């Protein structure tokens, strides 16, 4: 309270590097869920053996219309095998060749790779799922496929992850914005204020930027769902710390206390509840973060635990100086406080 300008300056200086780190973290996430699993899992062991023994990192599945002539399918397979990173393409035509008529193959065997509507081909790739190389490879394979069969489909883990990368970036931005607007509207309606929602969300969003910006500076890569989950969870779970202090501040000011006395009383009364709530969230998530061997779970829990502590610190040290600084504007833009004259 006595040195509140210092904390205001620290708050302002923290925002640029925190926001920069937050932006970088969002662009450095990984989409390959296999990399988040323990190395002793059967799935990971099998994938490792495939790569070590056969130089295969991912497998795509190709569905081609059964009406496509065999000659066209063989020509398509030849083009696909020349695409960078493709080890080989397996299908009915590669097994039979051009000299063996398909009709001599028993239906029991041919039905494994061909139905009355579709023919299945497998494409083995050297590139890892969700990598830039495999995404470029998928684009090339799709271009070849559509030339021979416009209704054909390229499916599998890598194409799924590519679609996810393209759609989630936009979806996450929308979800993040909607959550901020929703919290803003709730605070504005409950607090009957125009300026308080800006101040409270600024403090919590700064805490989120710090929390999600740290992985960039520490060299940690997060699973792709971590930033959006933590942004919304931390905002929703910790904004009540700021609301608790602000509500008491409003009550003290309306009662006739000066701004310094009102902020001091609000801070003193709120600190125990804020710390207990924040440490409760920390304790509930930190143990899981330390214990779990699955990176996606441990990362999310560690971010929640750390975010709770950062939000507590930011509310206690940054919100009181902001309330002091903007007291006059808050009084003029908050219902029931317009009559308050500025009292130091």
Q: What average pLDDT does the segment 30-48 reach?
A: 76
**pLDDT tens digits for range 246-266:** 999 999 999 888 899 999 999
Query: Crossing angle of helices 196-218/226-254, nearest 10°?
Result: 150
Distance CA 76, CA 117 (A): 18
Q: 4-30+192-333 with 42-160: one CATH topology?
A: no
pLDDT above 80 (res 96)? no
Nearest by Cα to 239 from 319, 298, 293, 305: 319
pLDDT above 80 (res 198)? yes
Quick check: 304 and 233 in contact, CB under 8 A? yes
| Stated length of the chain | 344
Nearest by Cα to 272 from 237, 309, 316: 316
Lowest mean pLDDT among 1-5, 216-220, 267-271: 1-5
Residue 342: pLDDT band (50, 70, 90) is low
Q: What average pLDDT does the segment 316-337 reach?
A: 91
Q: Which pLDDT does position 97 carry in this prediction?
A: 62
Average pLDDT, the chain: 87
Cα within 13 Å of Cα(76), Cβ side? 29
pLDDT above 70 (res 136)? yes
Domain with residues 42-160, CATH architecture: 2-Layer Sandwich (3.30)
Using a CB cutoff of 8 Å and minimum separation of 24, what contacts does 153-157 make? 153/62, 153/63, 154/60, 154/61, 154/62, 154/63, 155/60, 155/61, 155/62, 155/63, 156/58, 156/59, 156/60, 156/61, 157/58, 157/59, 157/129
Nearest by Cα to 38 from 332, 323, 296, 329: 296
Q: What average pLDDT does the segment 187-216 reach?
A: 92
Q: What average pLDDT does the segment 303-326 reach?
A: 94
Most confidently modeled of 30-44, 139-153, 180-194?
A: 139-153
Q: Which pLDDT does position 128 carry in this prediction?
A: 84
Q: What average pLDDT does the segment 91-109 reach?
A: 70
pTM of the model: 0.80
Q: Where are the domains of the chain?
A: 4-30+192-333, 42-160
Sheet holding 153-156, edge to edge: 86-90, 118-125, 58-65, 153-156
Residues of the chain above pLDDT 90, percent: 49
* Residue 30 β-bridge partners: 223
Residue 325: pLDDT band (50, 70, 90) is very high
Q: What average pLDDT does the segment 64-86 reach?
A: 90
pLDDT above 70 (res 344)? no
Lowest mean pLDDT among 34-43, 84-93, 164-173: 34-43
Q: Which pLDDT does position 98 carry in this prediction?
A: 60
Q: Which pLDDT does position 101 carry in this prediction?
A: 66
pLDDT above 80 (res 161)? yes
CATH H-level superfamily of 4-30+192-333: Multidrug efflux transporter AcrB transmembrane domain (1.20.1640.10)
Q: Is 156 helix (H, G, I), strand (E, B) or coil?
A: strand
Quick check: 206 and 15 in contact, CB under 8 A? yes
**pLDDT tens digits for range 261-293:** 999 999 999 999 999 999 999 999 999 999 988
């Amino acid at each position: 309270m006595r040195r509140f300008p210092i904390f205001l300056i620290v708050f302002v200086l923290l925002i640029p590097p925190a926001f920069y780190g937050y932006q970088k973290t969002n662009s450095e996430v990984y989409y390959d869920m296999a990399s988040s699993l323990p190395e002793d899992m059967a799935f990971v062991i099998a994938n490792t053996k495939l790569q070590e023994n056969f130089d295969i990192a991912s497998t795509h599945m190709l569905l081609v219309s059964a009406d496509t002539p065999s000659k066209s399918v063989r020509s398509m397979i030849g083009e696909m095998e020349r695409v960078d990173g493709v080890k080989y393409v397996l299908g009915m035509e590669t097994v039979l060749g051009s000299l063996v008529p398909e009709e001599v193959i028993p239906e029991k065997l041919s039905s494994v790779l061909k139905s009355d509507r579709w023919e299945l081909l497998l494409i083995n790739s050297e590139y890892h799922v969700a990598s830039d190389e495999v995404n470029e490879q998928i684009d090339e394979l799709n271009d070849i496929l559509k030339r021979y069969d416009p209704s054909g489909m390229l499916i599998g883990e890598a194409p799924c992850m590519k679609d996810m990368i393209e759609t989630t970036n936009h979806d996450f931005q929308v979800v993040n914005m909607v959550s901020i607007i929703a919290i803003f509207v709730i605070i504005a309606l409950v607090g009957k204020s125009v300026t308080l929602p800006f101040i409270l969300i600024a403090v919590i969003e700064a805490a989120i930027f710090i929390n999600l910006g740290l992985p960039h500076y520490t060299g940690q890569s997060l699973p792709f769902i971590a930033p959006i989950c933590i942004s919304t969870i931390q905002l929703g779970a910790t904004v009540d710390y700021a609301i608790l202090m602000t509500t008491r501040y409003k009550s003290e000011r309306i009662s006739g206390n000066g701004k310094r006395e009102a902020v001091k009383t609000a801070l003193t009364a709120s600190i125990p509840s804020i710390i207990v709530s924040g440490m409760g969230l920390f304790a509930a998530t930190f143990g899981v973060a330390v214990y779990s061997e699955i990176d996606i779970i441990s990362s999310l829990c560690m971010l929640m635990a750390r975010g709770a502590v950062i939000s507590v610190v930011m509310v206690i040290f940054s919100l009181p100086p902001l309330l002091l600084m903007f007291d006059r504007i808050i009084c003029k833009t908050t219902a029931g406080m317009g009559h308050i004259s500025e009292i130091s």
